[in-house]
Structure 1
Amino acid sequence: MASAQGMGTANEDTVHISPTGVVVLDGLSAPKDLPMGCTHGTPWFVRQLGTRLINLIGDDNEISLRESLRRAIEDVNELHRHTCKLEQEAVPASTVVMVRERGNFLEYLVLSDNVLVLDLGSDGIKAITDKRVEEVASKEMREALQGPTGTPEHAARVAALVTAQRRLRNKPDGYWVASTDPAAADEAITGSVDLARVQQAALLSDGASRLVDSFGALTWAGLLTLLRTEGPAALIARTREAELTDPVGKQWPRFKRSDDATAAYLTHLRAEHRGEQ
């Protein structure tokens, strides 16, 4: 696994591992000029949420991934319910992708636009993500993707997008993320696959998936090959190299020149189930 800070003042991603599980979170950035109802900030929130998630899915094999997310959100709420204004729209939030080995299966949960990539051998490669955030505030999103990045005008358009998205966050006609509403867990994409089918897998924040889904510079197969041969840090380094060739977002329109990037790569998942040594 590897994680690297982007253009922000702190890395708002986090990654946690246990003998049977992996959790990757990507905190939602908030422009500095927008209000925030939590005094702790997003990096604190993702650390607290991630720690609870990895403990919950490791300590109780009977708890579902959705229920573990629900309980983790409730636990973090209790940490700052009396010091922060959790009823406001302007509270920390995070995307979630996690997997857990349970018996002969690999269970997964994806909430918002992190990506889980599964290599299922003869059944091909499956990329699982939740793009509902791209279906809301479309006008503000188009404007926020207009460059050049790094200008006050662009920053103002991104702030307008975040303001619009906050109003739609965790609403039936909006999109869902992990924040202060435990019910968001019910909206996550979940599933399981037979471990014997999984050759390799990757859990990615959107800053680490952009070589494929934003830049088109790699396929998912190519990304997995890069992870297998050179490792997650090399994937992030390759992403940074691509970003530097287009610093103002002319070729690849985006909200910031470089985003926090986190990648966790899994291989040799329960090899004995495939008859390997």
Structure 2
Amino acid sequence: MLDGLSAPKDLPMGCVHGTPWFVRQLSTALINLIGDNEVPLREALRLGIATVNDLHRESCDLDQEAVPAATVVMIRERGDALDYLVLSDSVLVLDLGAGDILTVVDKRVEEVAADQMRAALEGPTGTVEHEARVSRLVSTQRRLRNRPGGYWVAATDPTAADEAITGSVELSGVQQAALLTDGASRLVDSFGALTWHELLTLLRTEGPAGLIARTREAELTDPLGKQWPRFKRSDDATAAYVNGWARSTLPSV
């Protein structure tokens, strides 16, 4: 699961291809790499970033701050284990049975530029003033991206993979799993409208499309961000759900 980082239209971009291209290329590289169980997920991500760099090094300026970037969540069956990797603020939710829910998310992006982030969350959303505050936040975040003391995402620096959160759990104990972009997890972690258990139940009964539809309904009840302050009224939302390892995915933007 990759979620490309939004780039306000008034800010420069050093890549002529853009974020959607970057996400497609990186996801393809990762799919090819993680099929080898001998390759740790961090190493797969490191190699994937380097592979994409080679695709546009000649045409794009990869050494500046304004380059495409994405969050990453990966899971992989490896024998009796389920390996996982999370980089930045997309969310992995694992139901380990007996009421035990493991959520894995990297929130370092929320710990930097805190003053600008609070300002960017001030409504009403959709106004010129709000968009200007969001642009100022993104400008600051770019300076702190993939630097010690900042936060880490998949972009052009392969060493960002070393900062990913990784781990393994016994595959036999995993009842359900959900991989969520922050736009798909907001009913729980931003709006407080559902618990993680309830979100997994919604995914099991209505699928990713049901979760995203419920999210859009909630957003429409608060279009100006008064109840739930946010950077934009609706965010890109993608969910992948695994139940009994019969995979069901449906992206929505």
TM over 0.5: yes
Q: Which residue of 2 aligns with 1:264?
A: 240
Of residues 223, 229, 235, the one that matches 2:211 is 235
SS at 2:98's partner residue? helix
Contact preservation (8 Å) 1:36, 1:91: yes
Q: Which residue of 1 aligns with 2:251?
A: none
- Pairing of 1:1-277 with structure 2 (within 5 A): 24-58=1-35, 60-122=36-98, 124-269=100-245
* Aligned CA-pair RMSD: 0.8
Rounded Cα–Cα distance in structure 1 between residues aligned with 2:94 and 2:172: 12
Rounded Cα–Cα distance in structure 2 between residues aligned with 1:184 and 1:44: 20
Structure 1 position 128, deviation (Å) = 0.6
SS at 1:122's partner residue? coil
Cα deviation 1:199-243 (Å, max 9, x = unaligned): 000000000000000000000000000000110000000000000
- Amino acid corresponding to residue 48 of structure 1 in structure 2: Q
Structure 1 position 123, deviation (Å) = 5.8
SS at 2:239's partner residue? strand
Contact preservation (8 Å) 1:113, 1:130: yes
Q: Which residue of 2 aligns with 1:11?
A: none
Contact preservation (8 Å) 1:227, 1:265: yes
Rounded Cα–Cα distance in structure 2 between residues aligned with 1:102 and 1:169: 32
- Amino acid corresponding to residue 29 of structure 2 in structure 1: R
Cα deviation 1:77-103 (Å, max 9, x = unaligned): 000000000001000000000100000
Structure 1 residue runs without a partner (length 5+): 1-23, 271-277
SS at 1:46's partner residue? helix
Q: Which residue of 2 aligns with 1:4?
A: none
Structure 1 position 269, deviation (Å) = 3.4
Structure 1 position 54, deviation (Å) = 1.1
Structure 1 position 136, deviation (Å) = 0.1
- Amino acid corresponding to residue 165 of structure 2 in structure 1: I
- Amino acid corresponding to residue 220 of structure 1 in structure 2: W
Contact preservation (8 Å) 1:95, 1:114: yes
For this pair of structures, how many residues does the alignment match? 246
Moved over 6 A (4+): none
Q: Which residue of 2 aligns with 1:274?
A: none
Contact preservation (8 Å) 1:97, 1:116: yes
SS at 1:97's partner residue? strand
Rounded Cα–Cα distance in structure 2 between residues aligned with 1:225 and 1:159: 37
* Overall identity of the aligned pairs, in %: 77
Structure number with greater CO (CA < 8 Å, separation at least 6) is 1
Structure 1 position 267, deviation (Å) = 1.1
